[in-house]
Structure 1
Amino acid sequence: MDAAEDAYGQAIRDYYEGGEERFEIIERDDGFVAPSSGPATYFSEYDEWGADEQTALGHLQGSVLDVGCGAGRHALYAQRQGHDVTGIDISPGAVTVSRDRGVERVEQCDVAAVDEAFDSGTFETVLMLGVNFGLVGTAKTAPDVLGALATVTTDDGRIMAQSRDPHDTNDPYHREYHAFNRERGRLPGALRMRTRYKTYATPWFDYLLVSPSEMDDVLDTTVWTRTETWQGEGGLYTAMLEKH
């Protein structure tokens, strides 16, 4: 990702350097446009996180890979708990901010390429918090992404995967989009989107929201199984995935 495409990272950098919260604009492929929740979320502390994330973080073990680390909030927490942590993010701006905030190891890396960036069996815990299970992309790409994560984790490795149940909404725009997805053979919560900020715009990318049962379907052809689930608010939940 080059600098002109890093809308997300630039919003984080501006907030970190100046403290002024400006919002990214989320654009979906059906024409729906809305502001993001804002960069302050990426700097929030443990006491501000949902009960599902807090509970999941009580199950950290060994070396940790924080996928889509953003401004480093979860990586910094895991470091303070004494874990050896590596953060990855595709955004160069996010990588810079995470490093400046004290994440000891952080690299610009696509989660789909982790098996090329790290040795087999490097990590014992993978964090996909901040709804970052969505980074598996689509139901079709998910097995490859989850396979790459299986390669870089130990035999007893685990993933803490947060998602949002897309069906937990009464918003007609979202429900219409779910129907639009079904018509084209996609899961209801399969987002095709891009973000804009000032003069920056990301390329279009896929991001997947799933219910717990849909997560199980996505995991079906992988080595991962959902073994624990902790509910949050507003359709959020975090699942522990373990190898079978």
Structure 2
Amino acid sequence: MDPHEDAYGQSIRDYHEHGTGFEIIERDDGHIAPSRGPAMYFGDYDDWGTDEQTALGHLRESVLDVGCGAGRHTLYAKQQGHEVAGIDVSPGAVAVSRDRGLDRVEQCDVSDVDEAFDSDAFETVLMLGVNFGLVGTGETAPTVLSALATVTTPDGWILAQSRDPHDTDEPQYQEYHAFNRDRGRLPGALRIRARYKTYATPWFDYLLVSPTEMDRVLAETDWARTETWQGEGGLYTAMLEKEK
């Protein structure tokens, strides 16, 4: 990756090293807004929503953290005595995670996870921090979830957080949902990039779904939603298990 394409990684690297940083999210309809900022990627257990906290009570054996960022969930799992590994596409995020004490962190896209790790390597996969979105689109989700099925044991599960995109009355979001429907995409399908100072990531797809929409996405995969914990502001975390 070109260093100037790692806006996300550079912002959390600066926050890690200097305590400052910001992140701007640009959407493909021209909407631009600041994110909550890199501080959230360093939050401790007490800072997380009840849905994430409840889900983390279901960690088992070896754990893979998808989109690990600065390593907040991976570090928690390690502190609970689990063998852990993390992946992130951002070289800056990987560097920060390693600096914070995580040895097994790889720069890897989730769709390539079955090339980076052995089959049946993990009992638990984390897609927290709304990282179910890393499946990309409804069309790419089966490929991503198939790769995760390969690296998990037959009884392994995914703890996946998403946000119900319909839980809003903001016109800027409702109009974007309509824009997506008009072009044949799920309402919560985002096409975005992150910006920081002179850095900008390539455009990428990120998917927000309601629980019912998650079930429709999972229908073409080996996974099914078996339990759901509700959070605040439309957030929820689901347990996904392989269908027998």
Give deviations 1:17-69, integer Å, cap 9, x for gaps. Answer: 0012x321100001100001100000000011000000000000010000000
Q: Does 1:8 align with 2:8?
A: yes
Map 1:162-177 to 2 at 5 A. 162-177=161-176
- Deviation of residue 168 (structure 1)? 0.5
Q: Which residue number in structure 1 is paired with residue 180 of structure 2?
A: 181
Q: Which residue number in structure 1 is paired with residue 41 of structure 2?
A: 42
Q: Please list every run of at least 4 consecutive aligned residues from structure 1 whose deviation after the TM superposition is greater than 2 angstroms.
A: none
CA distance in 1, matches of 2:115, 2:15: 32
Q: Which residue number in structure 2 is paired with residue 73 of structure 1?
A: 72
Map 1:222-241 to 2 at 5 A. 222-241=221-240
CA distance in 1, matches of 2:128, 2:103: 19
CA distance in 2, matches of 1:173, 1:234: 16
- Deviation of residue 104 (structure 1)? 2.4
Query: TM-score under structure 2 normalisation?
Result: 0.99
- Deviation of residue 131 (structure 1)? 0.2
Q: Does 1:220 align with 2:200?
A: no
Q: Does 1:102 align with 2:101?
A: yes
CA distance in 2, matches of 1:132, 1:144: 16
CA distance in 1, matches of 2:26, 2:169: 20
Letter in 2 for 1:10: Q
Query: TM-score under structure 1 normalisation?
Result: 0.99
Secondary structure, counterpart of 1:82 in structure 2: coil
Secondary structure, counterpart of 1:58 in structure 2: helix
Letter in 2 for 1:79: K
List alignment gaps of at least 5 residues for structure 2: none
Q: Does 1:23 align with 2:12?
A: no
Secondary structure, counterpart of 2:86 in structure 1: strand
Letter in 2 for 1:214: E
Q: What RMSD over aligned residues (CA atoms) do the two structures have, in Å?
A: 0.5
Letter in 1 for 2:225: R
Map 1:124-139 to 2 at 5 A. 124-139=123-138
